[in-house]
Structure 1
Amino acid sequence: MVVEVYPNIYMQEIPLPKNPLRAINSYIILSEDRNLIIDSGFNTEECRNAFMEGINELGIDLNKTDLLVTHLHSDHSGLAAALNKEGAKIYAGKIDGKMINEMAGQAYWDKFEGYKKLFDLEKDNVSFDNHPGYKYCPKEPIEFISLDEGDSINIGHYSFEVVNIPGHTPGHIGLYEKNHKLFFCGDHILHKITPNIAFWGFEQDILSVYFNSLKKVHEYDIKHLFSAHRSTVADHKERIHELLNHHDARLNEIMEIIKDDKKSVRDTAANMHWELKYDTWEDFPNPQKWFASGEAMSHLEHLYSIGKADRTEENGILYYKLK
């Protein structure tokens, strides 16, 4: 079922079976000329069927419809290749668009085998076989139209400006409509749940990048903020403060964990508090161990970057200890 959330703007909740996120909010903006869909769901038959139900309910012509992918995660980009084949133009940020195409090849995923060793996850015997990023991403390259800060997309009487909001992924983008004070933010800001901030390489302190993106959006004049999961956000400034406080508490928690003894990424994650239904780390499914370790790593690297933690490597495993 699709719901009109603003004139000529509809939200469709696409189920994400057997996933803690439960569903993704896909947004459809209609005009007489061309339509724009924001984010798509997994590359699965269930998501495609749900996606097409909304398309059919609104009577949309896919030949007059384009897709904008806010970021590379497969619940947002999964159906991009299929829609591309249908003739839709596919928009994405220049960084994440490139990475989505890399994800279609095995070499992208092979590097995570190195992360498994680095994070000390070999002791859990984890694999990528059932990771949603691996299973449900597009399986072939896509002809993206690359977007960058300040680019514009005009749909009907709406004029959207592209905003770079990296952090949740290296090239996450959003759409801001200044005249109506609308912001489509993907996973940058979520209501009730916190976006996962994972590790994307040693080239940058991705947690600091995320903080800067939050502070950037804080200054925007936004009346309606449309996020990709759960409900819309009523007060974006209040929610940004809550997210910053959450990560501050996370950093304090991790500093306590690594205060007396060095810890691997995996052992740090295993000692952190998670809002999940599992009683022990051993109960975590493999994908959740990856997500938790990635989040622990981004926070550990931030502490290392700001000079509050030491980092050592022993036998290919990283260890962190509070200075």
Structure 2
Amino acid sequence: MLSIERQCQCMQLLIETFTVPIEIRALKTANIYRLETDDSAFLIDSGMSDNSIKSIEQNLKKIDFVFITHLHIDHLGGVLYLHEKYGIPAYMNHLDLDLIMNANEDRDGYIKRHSEIFRVNGVPPSMVEEIITMHPVIRYFDYYSKLDFVQDYRKINASGIKFVEVPGHSPGSTAVYIEDSRDLFAGDHILDRITPNIAVYGDEDDLGNYLESLEKVRAMKVDRIFPGHGNVITEPKIRIDDIEKHHHDRMRAIIAALKSPKTAYEVARDITWSKGRKMDTMNFMERNFAILETVSHLKHMDRKGMVRRIEENGIIKYSYIQ
């Protein structure tokens, strides 16, 4: 546990950082933050499971509520344990909350819609079924179904705290901003050593939303970013530059792969991913992320007029516009 106490202009602020284990091979750990101000004490995120919370439970002091930055299981997987054992309320952005509730109300429809995203983007049928079983929401349906106690974050009344909507990594991704100390608790919006995955949540331009959210943070007065995974970022604008460069490089790689019209699946298979990896070496959860990230980039590039979307016999292909 790391504790930082700061005397800000208008309030006292205590920041406690807990690094907890999670069951994701590529990440291994997640950060949970406990903030204590003059009038409230709360957690930001809750790890991936009961194990995440139990690993730090004996070190936790007063908690008035939990704020969840976004819907992914490695951030809200411990909130049910806190609610059931201690009665602690939880809050998150209503857009992500609605996605969870709607998925639970129509599980078959949710699975069908996501299967269709893969199918129309050229993923072989046998692979679609295996990828879908590893989809993070579908895999944890039963857990998500118990989160009806979670409320809209706009009901929180905490002085000195601002909530900043930063859609892209998920539609409702929301950061916590302490204006006095110029600290931003960003969830997975900005990470220190990896770039957040940008997937597909509907007809939105998720990558476009993400890039706009990066610019929103750039325009803010932020000295430090506390991310959902990894180390504190002390040079936010440099890190934002790095992430933007990554996405522009990814778009250039996609263009290079489009020597002829291809599906998003074919592009994802052809391009090189982080650490020189190819998609064929990934497990099914990682392939899920790689394919959806390729779709999100191609949708953004289509909207920007960089590529052209072609539909043939119910399958979407993209061609590069010279």
C-alpha change, 1:5 and 1:267, in structure 2 (3 Å) is farther
C-alpha change, 1:95 and 1:271, in structure 2 (3 Å) is same
* Contact persistence 1:207–1:298 (CA under 8 A): yes
Measured in 2, the distance between the counterparts of 1:169 and 1:76 equals 12
* TM-score, with length taken from structure 2: 0.88
The residue type paired with residue 13 of structure 1 is T
Residue 70 (structure 1) aligns with: 69
Please tell me whether residue 245 in structure 1 is matched to residue 245 in structure 2: yes
Instruction: After TM superposition, give the deviation of residue 31 of structure 1 in Å.
Output: 5.8
Question: Mind listing any 5+ residue stretches in structure 2 that lack a counterpart?
Answer: 7-13
1:259-297 CA distances to partner (integer Å, 9 max, x unpaired)?
Answer: x2111111111112111585x433221111110011101
Measured in 2, the distance between the counterparts of 1:176 and 1:14 equals 22
Measured in 2, the distance between the counterparts of 1:78 and 1:276 equals 29
Identity %: 27
Instruction: After TM superposition, give the deviation of residue 28 of structure 1 in Å.
Output: 1.2
The residue type paired with residue 183 of structure 2 is L
Residue 93 (structure 1) aligns with: 93
Measured in 1, the distance between the counterparts of 2:275 and 2:113 equals 28
The residue type paired with residue 119 of structure 1 is N
Residue 50 (structure 2) aligns with: 48
1:160-215 CA distances to partner (integer Å, 9 max, x unpaired)?
Answer: 1011111111111011111111111101111110011112222x222111111101
User: Which piece of structure 1 moves more, 80-89 or 236-245?
Assistant: 80-89
C-alpha change, 1:23 and 1:134, in structure 2 (3 Å) is farther
* Contact persistence 1:184–1:227 (CA under 8 A): yes
Q: Residues 115-264 of structure 1 correspond to what in structure 2 (within 5 A)?
A: 115-123=117-125, 125-126=127-128, 127=130, 128-136=132-140, 138-147=144-153, 153-154=157-158, 159-202=160-203, 204-258=204-258, 260-264=259-263
Question: Mind listing any 5+ residue stretches in structure 1 that lack a counterpart?
Answer: none
User: Which piece of structure 1 moves more, 109-118 or 226-235?
Assistant: 109-118
3-state SS of the aligned residue for 1:56? Answer: helix
1:20-65 CA distances to partner (integer Å, 9 max, x unpaired)?
Answer: 11111111123686531111122xxxx313312312123x35xx43
Measured in 2, the distance between the counterparts of 1:31 and 1:322 equals 52
Please tell me whether residue 319 in structure 1 is matched to residue 317 in structure 2: yes
Measured in 1, the distance between the counterparts of 2:78 and 2:103 equals 14
The residue type paired with residue 221 of structure 1 is K
Instruction: After TM superposition, give the deviation of residue 19 of structure 1 in Å.
Output: 2.3
Aligned Cα root-mean-square deviation (Å): 2.2
User: Which piece of structure 1 moves more, 306-315 or 243-252?
Assistant: 306-315
C-alpha change, 1:123 and 1:271, in structure 2 (3 Å) is farther
> Please, which of 284, 287, 291 is the counterpart of residue 286 of structure 1?
284
Measured in 1, the distance between the counterparts of 2:305 and 2:177 equals 36
3-state SS of the aligned residue for 2:111? Answer: helix
* Contact persistence 2:67–2:153 (CA under 8 A): no
Please tell me whether residue 266 in structure 1 is matched to residue 272 in structure 2: no
